[in-house]
Amino acid sequence: MNPVRVRAMIIGMLGLGAFLAATQLGYSEDPKPAAARAYKPVQPIHEMMEGQKKLFGEIKDGLLDKQWNKASQSAWILAEVANANSYQHEAADYRDWAAKMAQDCVTLAQNLKKKDEAGAKEMVTKVGQTCQACHDKYQK
C-alpha cells in the first residue's frame, strides 16, 4: 500500500479515536487533536501528588459545604491533573490507575454539577480507593 495513504489512514484513525474518547468522557466540544509530540511533566511527581491532594480536599470540603460549583471545578482540574499524572511513570498499572482516576473525576464533576450528593459521595470514595491502591504499591 502507498506509504502516504497508510499515514493518512493512521492519522484519520487517531482523530476518530480522539473524538470517540472525548465523547465517552462527556466533553461538550470536540477537542482538536494535538500535534504529535512527547509530553513532559513540568513538575516532579511529589509536587503533582501534593496538588492532587489539595484538589481532593477542596472537592470533599465543597461537597460537605454544598459548594457544588467550586467542588465541580476542582474535580475537573483534578481529572486533568490525573490525566497528566499518567505520564509520570512507565508502569502499565500506574498509568491505568491514573486514567481511572481521571475518568472517575469526570463523573464526579458531572455529579457535582447536578448536585447529586449520593453520586458525588460514591465517586469521592472510588477516587480515594484508586489513590490508595496506587499509593500502596508506589508510595515509599
Average confidence (pLDDT) over 18-32 = 54
pLDDT at 27 over 90: no
Distances (CA, A) of 136 to 120, 139, 140: 24, 6, 9
Query: What integer is the mean pLDDT of 57-68?
Result: 96
| pLDDT at residue 1 is higher than 90 | no
Q: What confidence category does residue 32 fall into, taking pLDDT thresholds of 50, 70 and 90?
A: low
Q: Torsions phi, psi of 119, nearest 5?
A: -65, -40
* Number of continuous H segments (helices) and E segments (strands) in the chain: 5, 0
Q: DSSP letter string over 13-31?
A: HHHHHHHHHHHHHT-SS-P
pLDDT score, position 129: 97
Copy the grid coordinates of residue 7: 499515514
Q: Check whether 20 has a pLDDT greater than 80.
A: no
Q: Which residue has the higher pLDDT, 31 or 43?
A: 43
* Short-list 82, 61, 84, CA closest to 72: 61
Residue 6 has pLDDT above 60, yes or no: no
Share of the chain above pLDDT 70, in %: 74
**CATH of region 42-138:** 1.20.120.10
Q: What angle (nearest 5°) sits at the alpha carbon of residue 79, between those of residues 130 and 101?
A: 15
